[in-house]
Structure 1
Amino acid sequence: MEVQHTMLRALLLFSALCAMSAITLAAGAAPQYLRHTGDLRELIKAEGGSVSSWGGALEEFPNASLGAGMVTLEAGFMMLPEYSDCHYFLYVIEGSAHVGLMSPVGFPTNARRIEQGDVFAIPRGWASWAVNCGSSRLRAFAAWDTSEGHARGECMHFHLAGSSSTSTAAAEHQKDTGSILRGFSKDLLAKAWDVDVSHVESLLRSQRGSAIVRLPSRSGSSPATSHALDQIVHTWMTTTTTISQLAMGVGMGLVDDDVNGKQGASSAFGMWPLSGGEFVYNLDRSSADVANKGGKVWFLNAHRMPVLRQLRMGAHRASLRPGAVIGPVWSVNAHHIVYVISGKGRVQIAGPDGRNELDAEVRAGQVVAIPRFFAALKVASEGERLEMISVGSSSMPWSSFLSGSTSMLKNMPLEVVTHAFNIDRELEEKFREKRRDVTAILPQSESERQKDV
């Protein structure tokens, strides 16, 4: 009998612990719309740069597989060629580098210098690499879509060159960065390439670094080495441009299904036109779509950068002057990941039933996740500009505003608004007559400016 009572008490205790665990998990599953720089998890960390992630798919986005992180590449280093199982969208925050991209059929399609304010799109399965021959670090914000990848929210990278991560000093932060060629036997590789096994051994053994490696020194004793490094990018860009033009000229038919309204000869393979500028867009140096006393907004969609149609991503860049406001606004067809480039401000997010999902001060280096249909309000601080880049899960994102000249409430029939809010016409017209001449960005009002003075 005593044994039975002991077992019963143990069972009750176990049930209580399980219930407490379930409550804890449920509480922990609450959406975290704001993420900090300290929340970044390093996937690759090396002397020459790093790749980090805010961790898996952002759970604020139901039925979506969006992730975000940061990429850095120090001067004098190279990111070795690789491909991944996800689409990549990069926005350069600072610095510059020369990047290369190669289509799955082996044609170099793009060799460009990217710099601050540029967008670089990398389709899933396309090989890419980067070389920083400058004097300063490249730093970029990255967003990715893993809807057709192996793991939700996390990209799987397949490196074409590099030693095994287990043989590097930074193995803890460089998992799975060894070349895929190491997964084959040397004799079969020799057979495939029609070379001696010793040549294969030399190919795989010569590169001792992985993922991110140092370039030959410009200040070395050999002028030939320095000269060769200076000529790498020039030769590379000239060659890839020539090959791209040749490929198009001989009727490869690498045409996207949707761009011209009809199917190209190779569209079944998911190819794109081999255009040098197809995958890089100078966002910050383009003409602003909205410009007023409150700041500027640049929109980037598939019309301006057709490859975004394949990535199923779009973006907008906002520069708000002190005290300026964007919103309330919600997206009809896209989740949004907002990265704060510089400055300070405040962001609020409203959900169903008037729930306040987020009310937070934001600053440089932070990320805000805004689910589709959730309304958001962004305000720059009174003392400095607020610079942001927002990446959405649609190549043609659409938004609905509740303020400014395009406000739904402003353009809704007056009788509908007065009855819906149970207010008189006089009060409704006070709202209707304000902000008639501004769109998207609402400048700080005259009364607010006078208060600041």
Structure 2
Amino acid sequence: MASKASLLLSFFLLVSTCLARHQQQQQQWQPQNQCQISRIDALEPVERIQAEAGVTEIWNTDEKQFQCAGVEFIRHRVQPGGLLLPSYVNAPLLSFIERGRAVQGVILPGCPETYESSQEQLSGQSERRGQRFQGVQQDRHQKVENLKEGDVVAIPAGAAHWIYNDGDTELVAVVFFDTQNNANQLDQNHRRFFLAGNPQAQSQQQQGQRQPRRQQGREQPYLNAGNIFNGFDAEFLVEAFNVERETIEKLQGQRDQRGHIVNVEQGLQIIRPPQSRQEQEQEQHQGGRQSERQGRRQGERGQGSNGFEETICSMKLRENIDNPTHADFVNPQAGRIANLNSFKFPILRQLQLSAERGQLHPNAIQAPRWTINAHSLVYVTDGSMRVQIVNNAGESVFDDELREGQVVVVPQNFPVIKRAGEQGARWISFKTNDNAMISNLAGRVSAIRSMPVDVVANSYQLSRNDAQKLKFSQQESLLFTPNFSRSQGRASA
């Protein structure tokens, strides 16, 4: 009996120890009270990772506002003819083309290679390269996208992708990562897995500069980052690819000194549709949205549901958010707002992300509001605006000018108001929900407007007449025309 009791006690202690360690690891992996923020700052990139044909600028992930939202943010600047090497990330991402144009490929596992070269293309390429046509293997690959300014690209976690600047000007693309997304089961670090090159080669040259303090366990996705083939035994790869060892050595990239963005000599020869055909496909896609919504409604009622897995290979991965015809709210005197959610861009349902594109005319105001079900990251692309953010204690945590190229995070439920500067403002917001819901505080459709007059009067100690003015004086809904008389009065004072 004594031995059995001893065995049971040992087993109990073992289980208790394992549970305690598991809880400790969970607490370390999920920082507590990260949204107890007393101050938010406008942020700019703190690191520049230089490469042969461009640079990647990185915002400090240790900032409390980033940790609160569980997001990260970077900006790629790719020179004409530059190729951002193929890689994949452990978290879903949204990329916004701020300037320039590009060609991008996203490799979705299990999807067919629908683009293939014709006999004429093969013959022409062989003649240009001085090869014999008979020995050229027909090229096949998954589809590529022509990107332009204003495009939002959605890429699932773990999907390999690359981007090539085929224009005459610098390509500027900002990238938003949701590291707390359910698709990421590693940790709260944005980790990039390169399939080519030797990114650490040029990155190490930046280590002499001042680097921001990083929390223990948080990784930098570009520093000391060789490509994934470098970790395999070369002989294994020779057999796996059935090629010569010299080719495998280049695959591993140990001697590659170009960094993660490389120059492409004589342009990139790839198979892609002309822009006009792609625009036609976009129109066809938009025309089919109504039938798609009807199909979803039928599916919700159990009538002929079409599974998501049947459309993943043909789903659209890009949508232009700058097109004025896509705007959801327009005030000719104040500006416009365009929302990109899963109803307009179905793949966002899988990523659980969305975006908002805003434009305010000089001195115009966006109604004070809060986002019910998402954190928001605001990035200014043009001009400037004064932004105020308030926490649950009624304290101002941000009251400053947000200028072009700066970022601020608005935590879920934190009220925010924006007012454009003298030159106006344009921004893009990335949100951690595929259908972010907004509640306005002022205007024709707002929380105050929806309350009974007596509730407003007694809540704010107002007369019934003043309560009615508070409710009904602002007739615009979301974007408010600037009141020039009041602005001039404040300026003269």
Q: Per the shorter chain, which TM-score range? A: 0.7 to 0.9
Query: In the alignment, is the contact (CA less than 8 A) between 1:57 and 1:67 conserved in 2?
Result: no
1:310 counterpart SS class: helix
Partner in structure 2 of residue 50 of structure 1: 55
Task: Tell me which of the two structures has the higher relative contact order, counting C-alpha pairs closer than 8 angstroms and 6 or more residues apart.
Answer: 2
Deviates more, 1:410-419 or 1:197-206: 197-206
Task: Report whether the alignment pairs 1:264 with 2:316.
Answer: no
Query: In the alignment, is the contact (CA less than 8 A) between 2:201 and 2:259 conserved in 1?
Result: no
Question: How many matched pairs?
Answer: 388
Q: Partner amino acid for 2:186?
A: H
Q: Partner amino acid for 2:190?
A: C
C-alpha distance in 1, partners of 2:407/2:58? 11
C-alpha distance in 2, partners of 1:336/1:169? 33
Change in Cα spacing, 1:258 to 1:207, as seen in structure 2 (3 Å) is farther
Candidates 310, 318, 332, aligned match of 2:372: 332
Aligned pairs for 1:187-226 (under 5 A) are 187-201=235-249, 203-204=251-252, 208-216=257-265, 226=266
Candidates 471, 476, 480, aligned match of 1:432: 471
Partner in structure 1 of residue 87 of structure 2: 82
| Deviations 1:41-77, CA, capped at 9 Å, x for gaps | 23x3213122232222652367642112212111121
CA positional deviation for 1:342: 1.5
Partner in structure 2 of residue 249 of structure 1: none
Partner in structure 2 of residue 407 of structure 1: 446
2:86 counterpart SS class: strand
Candidates 30, 41, 46, aligned match of 1:40: 46
Question: Gaps (5+ residues) in structure 2?
Answer: 1-32, 113-140, 208-219, 279-291
Change in Cα spacing, 1:266 to 1:427, as seen in structure 2 (3 Å) is closer
C-alpha distance in 1, partners of 2:235/2:73? 40
C-alpha distance in 2, partners of 1:354/1:169? 45
Deviates more, 1:54-63 or 1:181-190: 54-63
Change in Cα spacing, 1:170 to 1:237, as seen in structure 2 (3 Å) is farther
Change in Cα spacing, 1:324 to 1:417, as seen in structure 2 (3 Å) is same
C-alpha distance in 2, partners of 1:97/1:58? 31
Give percent identity, aligned residues only: 27
Question: Gaps (5+ residues) in structure 1?
Answer: 1-25, 217-225, 242-254
C-alpha distance in 1, partners of 2:203/2:365? 49
Query: In the alignment, is the contact (CA less than 8 A) between 1:110 and 1:274 conserved in 2?
Result: no
1:416 counterpart SS class: helix
Supply the RMSD in Å over aligned alpha carbons. Answer: 3.0
Change in Cα spacing, 1:106 to 1:197, as seen in structure 2 (3 Å) is farther
Q: Partner amino acid for 1:157?
A: R
Aligned pairs for 1:225-244 (under 5 A) are 226=266, 229=267, 232-233=269-270, 235-237=271-273
2:314 counterpart SS class: coil
Candidates 303, 307, 311, aligned match of 2:347: 307
CA positional deviation for 1:199: 4.0
C-alpha distance in 1, partners of 2:68/2:398? 21
Change in Cα spacing, 1:149 to 1:214, as seen in structure 2 (3 Å) is farther
Q: Partner amino acid for 1:380?
A: A
Q: Partner amino acid for 1:116?
A: E
TM score, norm. by length of structure 1: 0.78
Q: Partner amino acid for 1:341?
A: T
Partner in structure 2 of residue 22 of structure 1: none
Query: In the alignment, is the contact (CA less than 8 A) between 1:58 and 1:65 conserved in 2?
Result: no
CA positional deviation for 1:362: 1.8
Partner in structure 1 of residue 191 of structure 2: 156
TM score, norm. by length of structure 2: 0.72
Task: Report whether the alignment pairs 1:417 with 2:460.
Answer: no
| Deviations 1:150-196, CA, capped at 9 Å, x for gaps | 341x3111111113625887474952442211111121112212334
Q: Partner amino acid for 1:209?
A: R
Query: In the alignment, is the contact (CA less than 8 A) between 2:50 and 2:203 conserved in 1?
Result: no
Partner in structure 2 of residue 281 of structure 1: 319
